[in-house]
Structure 1
Amino acid sequence: MSLIYLEFDFKVKPVEPASDILMAELGELGFESFVENEEGLLAYILKSEWKEQTLDDLFVLQQPDFEITWTSKEIEQQNWNAEWEKNFHPIRVGDGCMVRAPFHAKEEVTFDIVIEPKMSFGTGHHETTYMMLQHILNTDFEGKSVLDMGCGTGVLAILAKMKGARSADAIDIDEWCYLNSLENVERNNCADIQVFQGDSSLLKGKKYDIILANINRNILLEDIPIYANSLNKGGALFLSGFYLEDLDAISSKCAAHGLEFEKNLEKNRWVSAKYVN
């Protein structure tokens, strides 16, 4: 028997930053996946999890600066592929990396990553994922032990392994992301990447040379002390999932735990920063 989802088509003005705030709030209410588009976003929730009052207390809907309308319809889980195939296009990061779906033609690049995102985050299209991929391309991973925290589709761990990482762990609290990462690491011949379902409590007693964490501001601020404790001396921490105005708070938290800001990338107000110990 197929699971029945509700698809909400949100029309958002202005699209930024209202869509990002809306997505974050919906994620807290049980919505499992999102597809961004030029007019706003599509959001998906299991019909069994939906209640008529679910949207009543959304902060973003009460803001006079944003105009948000929506319609909804039922969609069966097996129809999901058709939905994201319409919106998922291959992307290039620099000259040497391509992130594509299985139905896209392969091109001659150094790092050809095949991702089937399903209900997971991390196709490379969002600014934060794109910038994290840029960081990886510009970093030496040869022989390094790597953690991809909040791995989504596993795309960051996959590129790290392709770049010569000795070992890689990928962790996500979401079951969809966990299962999807398992599929994607196998699809990219990176089956030796260890994928786990859970949160930062899984890091107890573990050490890494490089930690990649593309999550969100609040979780990063909460978990930076754990990341710092899990980083080998001379290691690097790459963070993303926050805006430029949050950089000072993130950097202050890192500094309080012995991590020095080195550089950051910026794309459409989103930031990805590197810290070293």
Structure 2
Amino acid sequence: METLTVGRAKLTWLNGGVTHMDGGAMFGVVPYPLWSKKYPHNESHQIELRCDSILVQVDGKNMVIDSGIGRDKLNDKQKRNFGVLEETRVEESLEELGLTVNDIDAVLMTHLHFDHANGLTKPEQGELVSQFPNAAIYTSQVEWDEMRNPNMRSKNTYWEENWKPIQHQVETFDQSIEVVPGLTMHHTSGHSDGHSVIKFEDGDDCFIHMADLMPTHAHQNPLWVLAYDDFPVTSVHEKKKLQDEAYDKNCWFVFYHDAYYRAIKYNEERKIKEKVERKRYDYDY
């Protein structure tokens, strides 16, 4: 498992499973000849998108950013449509670190689309239960409201089985919240109406997790936003503002979906200066 230390925070990438989504949808209006040079694709023009939760350890707290694709919850049709060739192994990843799901104090949900929230629950003795029973689950109030009352479009990604078993654990915020000193969540809208990003600052050390405003390193261009975005113009403006702030502070950009990089730091020319590459494993496709 790859790790990164930023100030007093230690980040470890857990195995949350994988999806393969249409590259055209993931890059919106960007033409194929452009995006295909930035990110590999298969013969069906699908790109590999990890769903790897990030364990963040700060001040004795164990926190997880997003929950993975889940396990034993998708049917064969869903696995085929979403390109799920590998399901969540978060429990096994934590075990390698000497932890269990019971040791997780908080889950920071950037948003609640199925590829981020499906790992919040798991089947146990014929019913769905919380994957992280002792954790506070943070998300924006806007996102939580839509999760429970999706519209005709969003009902395809906001699933009842991902919120009902954990609703007693959810803690919401309006614009921002400080989870522990220096670690904050900020509501941005854009990708979803309730979408949020995560920042951490400790002196001169910092990281930003832009979630699906910048899901991979290939989405660095502020104009390259997803066809899945509910408010793409908002995504563009929020992305540009957050990127400029992170560049100025020399922050690490950390990723949940990127199949090739876990984290990147850019130089003044917006080129890669430092990087944490993702190791490829025998189970990779």
- Looking at secondary structure, tell me which structure has more helix per residue: 1
TMscore range, shorter length: 0.3 to 0.5
Relative contact order, higher structure (CA 8 A, sep 6+)? 2
For normalisation by structure 1, the TM-score amounts to: 0.33
Normalising by structure 2, report the TM-score. Answer: 0.33
